[in-house]
Amino acid sequence: MIDELLINIVLLSVLVELTLIAIIVVMQISIYKHKKKIYFIKRDRERCNELLYSAKDGYFCFVYPDQKVKDPQKDVLERCSRRLSVMLNLKNGTASSFEEVADSFYKTDSGLLKKYVNLLQQEGKAFEDIFAVKGGEQFVCIYGNRVNGIDNNLYCDVIWFRDISKQAKEIQSLEDDKQKIQNNYKLLENMLDGINYPIWLRNENLELLAVNKKYVEYTGAANKQEVLQKDLELTNNKGEKVAKRVATEVQKSKRAHKKAFNMVYKNRLYNFEVHESPYFVEDMLDKIGSVGYIKDNTELEKLKRSFKINQNNHLEILSSLGTAFAIFDVNGKLFFYNTAFKDLWKLENEFLDKAPDYLQFIENIRERKILPPVSDFKVFKEEETSVFNGLLETKEDLLYLPDGRTIRRFRTPHPNGVIFAFEDVSDRLATMRRLNELTSIQQGILENLNDAVVIFGANQRLKFYNSAYLKLWGLDENKMQDEPKMEQIILYQEPFFKNIEDWNIFSKKITANIMGSRKFNLLRDDNTNIAVSAKIFYDGSIMITYTVK
């Protein structure tokens, strides 16, 4: 009985030990599993932390106590990321407080950031804004949001920090470029608005894209927006859209076109000329728009009509003159001639009716041996046609024809080209030669006289004198230049009459005796007695002779 009890006790003891061993093994297995789970949880946490650390964005986190398990932690934990501490160059690194983070920004931005964070913590209100870091050109985009669990348990409030300095500079650069473009656009708009005639731009559908202020005024619209919205076109007196019609032709031909039209503007009839020029929309060859403007030709048309009338009158006058005239246009074509021109150069009607050019005219008179002889005809032609390339003033020369005639030629600028005037001065030159010969003979006769002689023209200006006159009165020949008047010549005699009390009265007596053709004597201070005689000829000229007694 005792043995059975002992056996039972031993068996029970073994069973208990086995049970305890089994429990211990199970617990060890469970502990191992938990340790393994905790290990992987820690590894995952480390991975998450490293993942956050590797992110370009820094963060600052407010971690709250876990309400579900009644976390004994009562204070809110602040955590600063490694990236944030580097980004803001925080003195205490990841141990920095939010106050230190906020102090990294300028005072105004720091206060605003604190307000944002306060609203996030109190009301869970997310935010996003851009702030400038103190002491540099660094800009940070800060955005905050709340993190809750699946069970709606409040985990934390996170403020993210992203360095956008590069993007900010690019944005600022784009803003600057935008401002420059806007300024340039405004300048361009002001320039176009300052032009005193309408200007417009059309798209590929020939609809108005842009107009200037003058265009608005011509259409009577309130502003540019109304013009563009209603696509208001400029019309002629019949209400036809002249400009758009021209633009259609431009789009088809891809070339500039213009057209004149009449339009009533401010109760007055104007003559306008519309111009349209093509351009490629967005540089695409199949999209052609146009740029247009109108030019006021009202006064020009009046001037043209007036000029035409005056020109016709002028040509009628030239036709009736005995001087030979011809007008060659800017291209050298014969535009007008009178009968005297035809007769002077002995031209045929058949030749003139073909409106020959100037070179053909030169060739014609050369073939008939009327043209003055020249050594190099090619050079001569180039010199002759050069007047059509910008003659600015009248040119005059003499042409010595083979038949002995001398032609005086004038070449003068004309709105239509060049006026050529030809005058036969052969007789005049012959007369001048004869006159010069007579003058030379007369001068020779005077020089052979012993008496001093001086001759004045009808205008009482000096014409002739001899050497004896210069010697008698001690005059320099230079004083006799430029045809001095009689009173000046008599004044030159004053040094020889110093004893005369009143020279003016004395000189007037001399002049009166001369004009009266009277003989009189002059007694000079050097006791030279001079007999003076004057003779007035039929043409009004006066000869005065001085004879020393």
pLDDT tens column, 209-220:
889 988 888 888
Residue 379: which pLDDT band, with cuts at 50, 70 and 90? Answer: confident
Q: Is the pLDDT of residue 546 over 50?
A: yes
- pLDDT for residue 319 is more than 50: no
Phi-psi region of 369 (alpha: psi -120 to 50; beta: other; left: phi over 0): left
**Looking at the domain assignment, is residue 354 inside a domain?**
yes
| 348 and 367 co-located in one domain | yes
Q: Is residue 180 part of a domain?
A: no
Give the end-to-end CA distance of the chain in Å, rounded to a whole number: 215
In-domain check, residue 302: no
Please indicate, yes or no, whether residues 44 and 96 belong to a single structural domain of this protein.
no
Q: Measured between alpha carbons, how far is 497 from 326 in angstroms, rounded to an integer?
A: 63
Shared domain for 64 and 22, answered yes or no, is: no
Give domain status of residue 352, yes or no.
yes
Instruction: Give 66 or 279, the one with higher predicted confidence.
Output: 279
Calculate mean pLDDT across residues 241-253: 86
Distance CA(314)–CA(461), nearest Å, equals 39
Average pLDDT for 228-254? 84
Residues 296, 299, 302: CA angle, nearest 5 degrees: 130
In contact, 458 and 483? CB cutoff 8 Å:
no
Report which of 473, 470, 476, 468 is spatially closest to residue 452, judged by C-alpha positions.
468
Spatial contact of 468 and 452, defined as CB atoms under 8 Å apart: yes
Residue 331 has pLDDT above 70, yes or no: yes
Residues 233, 289 within the same domain: yes
More confidently predicted of 179 and 286: 179
Average pLDDT (183-202) is 87
Q: Look at residue 204 and tell me if it is in a domain.
A: yes
% residues pLDDT > 90 (the chain): 11
Report the distance separating Cα 225 and Cα 216, nearest Å: 9
Domain boundary, last residue among 123, 147, 163: 163
Q: Which of 51, 75, 93 is the last residue of a domain?
A: 51
Query: Do 150 and 248 belong to one domain?
Result: no
CATH no. for residue 345?
3.30.450.20
Residues 59 and 144 in one domain: yes
Give the separation between CA 8 and CA 396, rounded to whole angstroms. 162
Overall average pLDDT of the 287-304 stretch: 76
- Give yes or no: residues 453 and 478 share one domain: yes
Q: Are residues 325 and 241 both part of a single domain?
A: no
Does the pTM surpass 0.85? The reply is no
Which pLDDT does position 441 carry in this prediction?
Answer: 53
And the tokens for 496? 């020889």
Q: For 391-415, what is each residue's pLDDT tens digit?
A: 788 888 888 888 878 888 888 887 7
Count other C-beta atoms under 10 Å from residue 13's C-beta.
Answer: 10
Q: Are residues 267 and 364 in the same domain?
A: no
* Residue pLDDT, tens place only, 13-67: 777 777 888 888 778 777 777 776 776 666 655 665 666 666 678 999 998 887 6
Tokens representing residue 84 in the block: 């944030």
Q: Flag whether pLDDT at 385 surpasses 80.
A: yes
User: What average pLDDT score do residues 288-303 get?
Assistant: 76
66, 37: one domain: no
What is the model's pLDDT at position 317?
A: 47
Element (H, E) at 114: helix 107-123
Together in a domain, 117 and 27: no
Residue-wise pLDDT tens digits, 458-490: 888 988 888 888 888 888 888 888 888 988 888
Q: What is the model's pLDDT at position 119? A: 94
Q: Are residues 149 and 63 in the same domain?
A: yes
The range of the structural domain enclosing residue 397 comes to: 321-424
Q: What is the pLDDT of residue 320?
A: 46
Residue 301 lies in a domain: no
- Of residues 70 and 143, more confidence is placed in 143
What pLDDT shows up at residue 218? Answer: 82
Token pair for residue 401? Answer: 């024809």
Residue bearing the bigger pLDDT, 383 or 16: 383
Helices marked H in 222-331 — which ranges?
224-230, 242-253, 298-320
- Residue 311 maps to a domain: no
pLDDT of residue 103: 93
Alpha helical stretches, state H, 321-425 = 339-345, 349-353, 358-367, 377-385
Number of domains in the chain: 5
In-domain check, residue 11 = yes
Over residues 257-276, the pLDDT tens digits come to 888 877 766 666 777 888 88
Q: Which pLDDT score, from 0 to 100, does residue 72 have?
A: 53
